[in-house]
Amino acid sequence: MSDPDGFWGAQAERLDWVKKPTQVKDVDFTLGQVKINWFADGTLNVAANCIDRHLETRGDQTAIIFEPDDPNEPAQNITYKDLHRNVCRTANVLESLGVRKGDRVVIYLPMIPEAAYAMLACARIGAIHSIVFAGFSPDALAARINGSDAKVVITADHAPRGGRKTPLKSNADTALLHCKDTVKCLVVKRTGDQTTWIAGRDYDYNEMALEADDYCRPVEMNAEDPLFILYTSGSTGQPKGVVHSTGGYLLYAALTHEAVFDYKDGDVYWCTADVGWVTGHSYIVYGPLANGATTVMFEGVPTYPDASRFWQVCEKHKVNQFYTAPTAIRALMGQGTEFATKCDLSSLRILGTVGEPINPEAWNWYNDVIGGGKCPIVDTWWQTETGGHMMTPLPGAHATKPGSAMKPFFGVKPVVLDPQSGEEIDSYPVEGVLAIKDSWPGQMRTIWEDHERFEKTYFGDYKGYYFSGDGCRRDEDGDYWITGRVDDVINVSGHRMGTAEVESALVAHVSVAEAAVVGYPHAIKGQGIYCYVTLMNGVEPTDELRKELRTWVRTEIGPIASPDLVQWAPGLPKTRSGKIMRRILRKIAENDFGALGDTSTLADPSVVDDLVENRMNRE
Ligand code: 6R9
């Protein structure tokens, strides 16, 4: 793109500004003086852009389809008019609790419409939200409430998920023991179960919203005012509070949502993420609603009541665009195809994937079984830090290759750097670390109250670039392949190997459902390859199979990738968003059980005990 500033200046027109910006970009990536500003003299309100401006043309159109955890509970269609009323009421409730422009509000809710109301209500009054995934522990919640000095935490009685219930209010009670006693707790009724109640601290959302006024004026915000904080893990230290902006972020989420999913008026779009993650922020709420879309909010899990749930929901709501994570695809693939083929998936037009490299085996299954070979797959590489898609094929415009994120999005300038020298490598094919040369509107602006850490983390290693932390390969056609976090790279006898490559080979074997690979210290090779393997249902874990897998990987990739150790893993330690916690697997592989760290954020912490108990015996 020859004139990115001209492009972005023109794109700004897709938002409704109170005061149109005259400036486009003011950016410096130099360590010590990093600043990122987009449309800095413009003013707008995000909620007005996501709701009010649609009322005249699509007030009666469904904005949100809520699909509850229990398939027998009716779905809800929330129109843009309903959304407006509910968001205004919620905004007025927050104001009555003393929340003002610039204040922080923590949202700890299930995947229910009130989560979207709460986000947009904050945006409407200029408060900064910080969502904490409902699967996080009280400790993590307390750290985030304190980290942003939040005035209010919004929670629910319980969070139903997969037929079980998480006691959110009780978790919040525990968390609040470690917070300032001025923090107020606003409680949404979800299951109706009894919870403890502290008068003067706890407030009943449903009661208050019913009494609140139907209208709340949207506050005029500067384009660079923070919209939200979202905590994310780094390779070191405590999670970082990633800060996103009002104008640039919304513009980027909206444009990528429309272009990447080829969203057209009247389409029904479903992203299966949780609003606790950035994918839920950008691609369930902000991007789709800014575009006046119909977006599905799903409260449940892919395998409840059984492995056909995703596909039943697609059939029921005639979903056109479906966006999920490779881990879900692999889990469902392991259950067999009948769960999908018995559903009518003919409404699907575009399939998306995000969160980790997708192995060709899963890609092909997704393509053939779910997409019937006729839906382009958009493999979207991006990060909490980037706000929106950075690399992805565009449906209809780009060819796809199983496992490749293909091309940068409009105006994004990826570079492959030599990890040692930090030099850009222009040629291809080439492999190195992935950095971005110049800013894009959705880029994070800072780490909450720690700009120095922001500069050091992202601009410290490779001067003048935003460093992604990912490794990548650019092939002979100039297409990009993300090889995984560079901290996951194993160096075996001086050869670098992406753990994702070995995992991909393993899961390509008929007996393997899932695999995670880490490095461990090896006297001769430097690092050896340690594989945790989850077998398909009903497959016997035998020594023969172990040998077979070693041979399999040798033939799939080469002798250098030959697994040194294969441990049978009935389950892998995963975060609630489905990311495998390699840190823990590395420690187990290293026999370093004393340093497993915090396992409380795992979906199922007991998995770790099993892995420790059955670790491979080695001298
Ligand atoms: C959106 C999101 C970011 C990290 C990122 C990378 C991995 C995400 C990917 C992918 C390969 C893709 N990642 N999408 N790797 N192909 N399509 O997931 O944000 O939770 O911050 O994770 O996820 O390693 O650096 P976040």
* Ligand 1 site, residue 279, Cβ cutoff 6 A: yes
Nearest protein Cα to ligand 1, atom 4: 383
371 and 351 in contact (C-beta within 8 Å)?
yes
Output the CA 115–ligand 1 centroid distance in Å: 23
| Position in ligand 1 atom list of the atom nearest CA 279 | 1
Whether ligand 1 lies within 6 angstroms of the CB of 354 is answered as yes
Look at 28-42, 130-144, 358-372, 467-481 and tell me which has the smallest mean pLDDT.
130-144
pLDDT per residue as tens digits for the range 276-291: 999 999 999 999 999 9
Q: Is 470 in the pocket of ligand 1 (CB under 6 A)?
A: yes
Would the CB of 442 count as within 6 Å of ligand 1? Answer: no
Distance CA 194, CA 367 (A): 45
**Structure confidence by residue, pLDDT tens digits, 317-351:** 999 999 999 888 988 998 989 999 999 999 999 99
Task: Quote the pLDDT of residue 619.
Answer: 37
Q: How far is CA 357 from CA 363, 403, 472, 476, 503, in A?
A: 10, 6, 11, 19, 10
Whether 139 has a pLDDT exceeding 80, the answer reads no
Q: Which residue has the higher pLDDT, 544 or 592?
A: 544
Give the pLDDT of residue 615. 80
Q: Whose CA is closest to 536, among 388, 384, 331? A: 331
Q: What is the pLDDT of residues 211-221, one digit of tens each?
A: 999 999 999 99
pLDDT for position 504: 84
Q: 136 pLDDT exceeds 80?
A: no
Question: What pLDDT score does 72 carry?
Answer: 97
How many Å lie between the centroid of ligand 1 and the Cα of residue 381? 6
Task: Tell whether the model's pLDDT for residue 568 goes beyond 60.
Answer: yes
**Cα(71)–Cα(539) distance, rounded to whole angstroms?**
31
The region of weakest confidence among 68-77, 194-203, 355-364 is 355-364
pTM: 0.84
ipTM of the complex: 1.00
Sole residue written with tokens 């094929």? 393
For residue 357, the 8-state DSSP code is P
Local confidence band at 138 (pLDDT 50, 70, 90 cut-offs): confident
d(CA 195, CA 516): 40
Indicate the annotated binding residues: 161-164, 279, 355-357, 379-384, 470, 485, 493, 496, 507, 509, 512, 554
Measured in angstroms, how far is the CA atom of residue 465 from the centroid of ligand 1? 19
CB within 8 Å of 224: residues ≥ 6 apart: 37, 38, 39, 40, 245, 246, 247, 248, 445
Distances in whole angstroms, Cα of residue 382 to Cα of each of 260, 469, 482: 13, 11, 10
Residue 153: is its pLDDT beyond 90? Answer: yes
Q: Band of the pLDDT at 497, cuts 50, 70, 90?
A: low
Tell me the per-residue pLDDT of 517-545, one tens digit each, with 9 for 90 and over.
Answer: 998 887 777 678 999 999 999 999 999 99
Using the 8-state DSSP alphabet, how is residue 605 labeled? T
- Give me the pLDDT at residue 237, please: 46
Q: Model confidence at 495, in pLDDT bands (50, 70, 90)?
A: low
CATH number of this structure's domain 4-301+376-472: 3.40.50.12780
* Mean of the per-residue pLDDT values of the chain: 92
The full DSSP string for 233-254 is --SSSSPEEEEEESHHHHHHHH
469 in ligand 1 pocket by Cβ < 6 Å?
yes
At residue 238, the pLDDT reads 60
Distance 260 CA to ligand 1 centre (A): 16
> What sign does the dihedral 225-230-231-233 (CA atoms) show?
negative
175-208 pLDDT, tens per residue?
A: 999 999 999 999 999 999 999 999 999 999 999 9
> What confidence score (pLDDT) does residue 288 get?
98
Query: Which of 382, 390, 487, 499 for a ligand 1 pocket mutation test, highest count of atoms within 8 Å of Cβ?
Result: 382
Examine the pLDDT at 264 and tell me if it is beyond 90.
yes
Q: How high is the pLDDT of residue 259?
A: 98
pLDDT at 591: 83
Q: Return the domain boundaries, the chain.
A: 4-301+376-472, 493-614
More confident residue, 89 or 357: 89
pLDDT score at 99? 98
Q: What single letter denotes the amino acid at residue 95?
A: E
Q: List, in sequence order, every residue forming a beta bridge with 598; answer none if it has no partner.
A: none
Tokens of 172: 């919040």
Q: Ligand 1 center to residue 579 CA distance, Å?
A: 10
State which fold the 493-614 domain adopts.
Answer: GMP Synthetase; Chain A, domain 3 (3.30.300)
